[in-house]
Structures are given as structure tokens and as C-alpha cells.
Structure 1
Amino acid sequence: VKPSEERLREAVEDTDAGDAVEKFVVACPMCTTMFEDGRKTGGFEDDVEVVDVAELLIEALEA
């Protein structure tokens, strides 16, 4: 199991939030690529979206 797949599994299965987790937030382009890959290979495409923290900032400023 890839570390990125394990981190995503932990986020959606081993946290109190569980099914409520919608976004997996990262802070660097390398992490975005790594976790997007883990999302696809680990079967988490329907469970969680990988987003950069900068995307959330832009979204908040536009609101």
C-alpha cells in the first residue's frame, strides 16, 4: 500500500469525521500530485477530493 493511499484511508475511515470528510487539503504541488495518484489507485475517487489550501483561500475570498 502506498503511503498516500494509507493517509487517505485514515482520513475517511479512521477519524471521528469519517464519512463527513469531503476534502483532503494539501499545501504543495508535489503533495497534490501524490495524493491525487493515491486517490485513484486506492479507490477513493468517490470518497474525497484533494484540494490545495490556496484553492480554499480563493474560494473564501470570492464568497
Structure 2
Amino acid sequence: SEERIREALEDTDAGPDVDRFVVACPMCMTMYEDGRKTGGYEDDIEITDVTELLVEAIDAKEK
């Protein structure tokens, strides 16, 4: 899990500026949450399911 987070950070131009990972599968959510906690990223990266983004967008539109 920790290695996957490191790989994902290295595979993007944003690198250390990434503050949120968006996933679309429960297995990925669990894996990245575990890696975030054990890899020392707990205060740096938020793991979000794509459905959470939809809820955020709907809430923002209603305001």
C-alpha cells in the first residue's frame, strides 16, 4: 500500500502537491487508506471516493 502511494505521487507532475487521491473502487479505497496511514501521509493526503466528489458538487450547486 505504501509503495502504491509513492508510485502514484511519482507518476504525476503534481508530485508532492497532491493533497487528494480519488478512487472509484472499495478495494482501492482500503489499500490507499492503509498506505496513507502506514506510509506517513496521514496529514498530507486525503483519500476520496468518486461518489464523495459528486456529493460535494451537488452541495456546492445548491448553495
Normalization by structure 2: what TM-score? Answer: 0.78
Q: Contact 1:11–1:21 at 8 Å: present in 2 too?
A: no
Q: Which has the larger radius of gyration?
A: 2
User: Moved runs in structure 1, 4+ residues, more than 2 A?
Assistant: none
RMSD, matched Cα: 1.3
Deviations 1:9-45 (CA, angstroms, capped at 9, x unpaired) = 2333x23212321101111112111111111111110
Question: Which whole-Å CA distance do the structure 2 matches of 1:31 and 1:43 have between them?
Answer: 18
The aligned length equals 59
| Amino-acid identity (%) | 71
Residue segments in structure 1 that go unaligned for 5+ positions in a row: none
Residue segments in structure 2 that go unaligned for 5+ positions in a row: none
